Each structure stands twice: as structure tokens, then as C-alpha cells.
């Protein structure tokens, strides 16, 4: 599933083609996605897209009559193409602009979503989300306060969208390694000083991934459109059993909360 940096690069990629442009038609060819596509998406036809926003891993196309909400799920991808380009298998939704460009949503597994948020309201999927990690609202004092008396493993605590949104499995592994914190350490046992370091490194790790992903934008209006994971040198994720790049000892791989967790027993302390 694409993580926050990949979704943010998707936003950056489609925004120049959509912001300030008028939606001509919304074509729904397959309404059975993760949740049924509501008829209200048609209310945006004839309206200008004022802004393309991201909240956690959701993309919002904002108009005066409400927002279209997109989530890529596990296999979704977006392409900005000319309306003359033939549909292929799993092309479920087209947002056709007056310019002749189309934002096309393809999703083989259909775990993505296409929903509607009325103006002045917050969709229930977005209502209880925590702070965005790259904003001042995500800070070590707040995270430290939330963690007190929590026995949950710090990795699961960090990936909980109530505490902070968008820190998925890859970036949680990487940030905890850089911070020298063992992923199984109870969140309530992590000191304030270590939370200060961890929050800084979460922000740095995500920001670097977004900057690196920005180099792929030239491909966004072409044939693929799938954000994927950027060609970055990961320190621990996907490297279970391989030598640690700091101390050279083999990295350990276990399951924490049903997710693969890779760490160094030497470099990451409980």
C-alpha cells in the first residue's frame, strides 16, 4: 500500500492538471470499490477544482459543493491523460475536465475508495485522524504526553493514526532505527528526550522521501502514474538477515502487530 510520501507525490503530480480547472463529467464505470461510490460525486460536475489536498493517505479534490475523496488502497494508481486514451482493464473512474484531460483511477484489487464530503463537513473516515507528521501539530511533547502509561510497542504506537497520521510500516522501521529505539519497547517507557529525536527523524525521513519522489513527476502524465516506492536506500526495511549498515551485525526480522519489523539488536535499545 502506498505510504504518505507516495500519496503526497501523487498530489503534487496531479495538482497542476486539476487545480483551477472545471470538472465536465464524472464517469463511474465500477461503483463497487472498498465502499460503494455515492451518487453525490456527480454534484461536482460543472464546478472548478479549487484545491487538491491530502489528509493522511486520502486525496481531496475540493469544490464549492464539496470534496471528492480518493484513496489508492493497495493497488490503485492515478493517471492524467487525454480523454481519447482508451480504457483498460480495472479503469474504474474518470474525472473528465473541460480541458480534455482526464484523471483516471485504476484499481485491480478494488480496495481503494472514491467518496464525497459535503461542504463544511468532515467525512467519518477523516474525523478522528491525528496530526499531520510534517506540521507543527506533530511534536515530541504531544507524542510524549499521549504515550504515558501505554504498554503498546512504540512501533505500533507510532503507526496508530490517532497519534499521528501516515507513518506507515516502511518509514516507522526506518525512523526507529535512526533514532536507536527498539521497535518492541513499550511506548510509555520511551523518554521525552528520545521522543524529541524520534519526531525529528520521522519528519526528516518522510520529507526526504517526498523530495526524492518529486523527481518522478515527469512520468505522472504518461503511461504509469503509480507512485510506487521511491528508489531510496533503506537502512533496515526489507533487509532482514542482512548486515546492519552501522555495526554489520545481522538485522532481525519479526512480526509486530502483524507487520514485518526489521531492526538491529545492537543499535536499537529498549
User: Catalytic residue positions?
Assistant: 2-3, 57, 259
Compute CA 50 distance to the chain's CA centroid, rounded to the nearest angstrom. 22
Task: Establish whether 90 is an annotated binding residue.
Answer: yes
What are the φ/ψ torsions at residue 29 (nearest 5 degrees)? -90, -25
Handedness of CA 230, 81, 49, 66 (dihedral sign): negative
Q: Is 93 exposed, middle or buried (0-12, 13-18, 19+ CB in 10 A)?
A: buried
As a whole number of Å, the CA-based R_g of the chain is 20
Q: How far apart are CA 138 and CA 146, in angstroms?
A: 12
Task: Establish whether 27 is an annotated binding residue.
Answer: no
Residue 210 burial (CB count, 10 A): 19
E strand intervals along 40-124: 51-55, 58-63, 66-71, 77-82, 91-97, 101-106, 113-117
Task: Establish whether 109 is an annotated binding residue.
Answer: yes
Positions at the binding site for DNA:
90, 109, 150
Positions at the binding site:
90, 109, 150
Amino acid at each position: 500500500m502506498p505510504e504518505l510520501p507516495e500519496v503526497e507525490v501523487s498530489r503534487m503530480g496531479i495538482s497542476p492538471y486539476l487545480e483551477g480547472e472545471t470538472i465536465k463529467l464524472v464517469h463511474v464505470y465500477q461503483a463497487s470499490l472498498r465502499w460503494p461510490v455515492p451518487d453525490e460525486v456527480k454534484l461536482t460536475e460543472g464546478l472548478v477544482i479549487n484545491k487538491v489536498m491530502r489528509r493522511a493517505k486520502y486525496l481531496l479534490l475540493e469544490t464549492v459543493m464539496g470534496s471528492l475523496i480518493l484513496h489508492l488502497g493497495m493497488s490503485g494508481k492515478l493517471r492524467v491523460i487525454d480523454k481519447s486514451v482508451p480504457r483498460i482493464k480495472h479503469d474504474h473512474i474518470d474525472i473528465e475536465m473541460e480541458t480534455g484531460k482526464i484523471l483516471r483511477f485504476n484499481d485491480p484489487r478494488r480496495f481503494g475508495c472514491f467518496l464525497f464530503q459535503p461542504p463544511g463537513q468532515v467525512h467519518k473516515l477523516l474525523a478522528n485522524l491525528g496530526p499531520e507528521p510534517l506540521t507543527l501539530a506533530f511534536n515530541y511533547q504531544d507524542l510524549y504526553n499521549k504515550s504515558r502509561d501505554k504498554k503498546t510497542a512504540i512501533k505500533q504506537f507510532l503507526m496508530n493514526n490517532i497519534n499521528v497520521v501516515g507513518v506507515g510500516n516502511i518509514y516507522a522501521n526506518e525512523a526507529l532505527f535512526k533514532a536507536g529505539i527498539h521497535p518492541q519497547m513499550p511506548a510509555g517507557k520511551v523518554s521525552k528526550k528520545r521522543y524529541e529525536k524520534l519526531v525529528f527523524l520521522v519528519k526528516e525521513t518522510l520529507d526526504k522521501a517526498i523530495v526524492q519522489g518529486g523527481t518522478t513527476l515527469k512520468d505522472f502524465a504518461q503511461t504509469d502514474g503509480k507512485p510506487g516506492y521511491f528508489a531510496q536506500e533503506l537502512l533496515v526495511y526489507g533487509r532482514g538477515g542482512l548486515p546492519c549498515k552501522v555495526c554489520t551485525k545481522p538485522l532481525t526480522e519479526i512480526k509486530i502487530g502483524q507487520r514485518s519489523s526489521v531492526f538491529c539488536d545492537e543499535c536499537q535499545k529498549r
